[in-house]
């Protein structure tokens, strides 16, 4: 296959604009069509523009469809693209239920086409290196895995779109909570390092969801997830910190610990008795580039749909489980900055760190 691959992008504003630019910047790709109800944006005049993604997929012969659309549309649009013979780059979260996950995996097999999920962190060689380091015995036996995410998001962030700040709208999952959207990479990367891929790899979920903002979902959360084989993943995730910190995955062992900063593709190996950690840096492959090489040369996908089932199992639990508990007003500081209003939680930094390091939820730690 030497001709340029024909690409259509659905959802071209906000995060989707990055996909448009990536296609336009690739010598072996051609942006044939875009779809967005708000208009096609700044694209070449030869690119066909649709207001509806279904219409684009039905009307245009495409090799690759990029879907940066609301989560309730993911399963249907991806299935349609596969049925029309296209490969798919599907933004995260991929689907809203385990049933949708299994159905879409079956559809990929039936169509002999690929679905790559937009967990960019899984494109790094550091993920496999951290898994290998954990198995090597360099930190002794693994006690548990953890994830720490501390970001800052304003009240305006939760009003950025009609679906923002919701778990469900009109009976359809939206999953815009901290663990399932803004800091979803932390959980997905931790699962990848721990070797959890399928929904059935998750055998227990203790989710303690909190919120400081007036939203229908969680913005400050802790989870302890039990995996098949006995491993555990503990995640402390919040977008109610005063400042943004680089999120990381922790592997705690009997003779030390690993810290993998997935946004920086860097692994820090802390061995008991060592004065300083050993630090390693890794290269990252773009997921669209990897998908193209898969189509052309059969390269293995770095973030295939089948690898995200454990994440979807947790997402389903969060969406269908009890709603987030409001955080006591005495622990919430309201401040204005740059024309936006921020609700920050006092002590959230220590709280999420303790979740990951001790493998206990806020509830069990008697925090927040």
pLDDT in tens, 148-183: 999 999 999 999 988 899 998 888 888 899 999 999
Model confidence at 2: pLDDT above 70: no
The torsion region of residue 149 among left (phi > 0), alpha (psi -120 to 50) and beta comes to: beta
Cβ atoms of 126 and 267 within 8 Å: the answer is yes
Q: Which two tokens stand for residue 198?
A: 């399928």
pLDDT in tens, 37-75: 988 788 999 999 999 999 999 999 999 999 999 888 999
CA distance 269 to 98: 35
CA distance 290 to 304: 11
pTM score of the predicted model: 0.95
Query: Rounded to the nearest 10 degrees, how much is the dihedral formed by the CA atoms of 179, 183, 187, 192?
Result: 150
Q: How many C-beta atoms surround the C-beta of residue 171 within 10 A?
A: 6
Q: What integer pLDDT is reported at residue 14 of this predicted model?
A: 83
Q: Among residues of the chain, what percentage have pLDDT more than 70?
A: 99
- List the one residue out of 115, 10, 116 whose CA is nearest residue 70: 10
- List the one residue out of 242, 275, 249, 229 whose CA is nearest residue 149: 249
């Amino acid at each position: 296959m030497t001709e340029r691959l024909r690409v259509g992008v659905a959802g071209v504003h906000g995060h989707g604009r990055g996909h448009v630019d990536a296609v336009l910047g690739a010598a072996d790709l051609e942006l044939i069509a875009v779809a967005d109800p708000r208009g096609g944006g700044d694209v070449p005049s030869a690119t066909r523009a649709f207001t509806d993604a279904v219409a684009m997929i039905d009307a245009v012969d495409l090799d690759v469809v990029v879907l940066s659309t609301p989560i309730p549309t993911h399963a249907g649009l991806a299935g349609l693209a596969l049925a029309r013979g296209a490969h798919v780059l599907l933004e995260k979260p991929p689907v809203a239920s385990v049933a949708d996950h299994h159905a879409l995996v079956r559809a990929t097999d039936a169509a002999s086409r690929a679905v790559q999920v937009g967990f960019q962190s899984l494109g790094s060689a550091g993920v496999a290196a951290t898994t290998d380091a954990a198995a090597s015995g360099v930190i002794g036996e693994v006690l548990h895995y953890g994830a720490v995410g501390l970001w800052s998001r304003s009240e305006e962030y939760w009003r950025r779109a009609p679906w923002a700040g919701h778990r469900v709208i009109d009976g359809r999952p939206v999953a815009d909570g901290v663990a399932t959207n803004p800091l979803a990479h932390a959980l997905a990367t931790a699962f990848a390092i721990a070797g959890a891929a399928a929904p059935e790899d998750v055998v227990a979920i203790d989710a303690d969801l909190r919120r400081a903002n007036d939203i229908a979902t969680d913005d400050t959360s802790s989870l302890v997830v039990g995996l098949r084989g006995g491993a555990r993943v503990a995640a402390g995730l919040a977008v109610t910190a005063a400042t943004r910190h680089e999120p990381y995955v922790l592997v705690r062992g009997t003779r030390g610990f690993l810290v993998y900063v997935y946004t920086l593709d860097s692994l820090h190996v802390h061995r008991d008795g060592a004065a300083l950690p050993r630090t390693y840096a890794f290269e990252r492959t773009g997921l669209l580039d990897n998908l193209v090489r898969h189509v052309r040369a059969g390269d293995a996908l770095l973030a295939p749909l089948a690898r995200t089932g454990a994440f979807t199992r947790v997402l389903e639990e969060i969406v269908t489980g009890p709603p987030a508990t409001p955080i006591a007003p005495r622990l919430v500081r309201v401040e204005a900055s740059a024309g936006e209003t921020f609700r920050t939680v006092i002590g959230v930094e220590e709280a999420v760190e303790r979740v990951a390091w001790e493998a206990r939820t806020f509830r069990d730690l008697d925090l927040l």
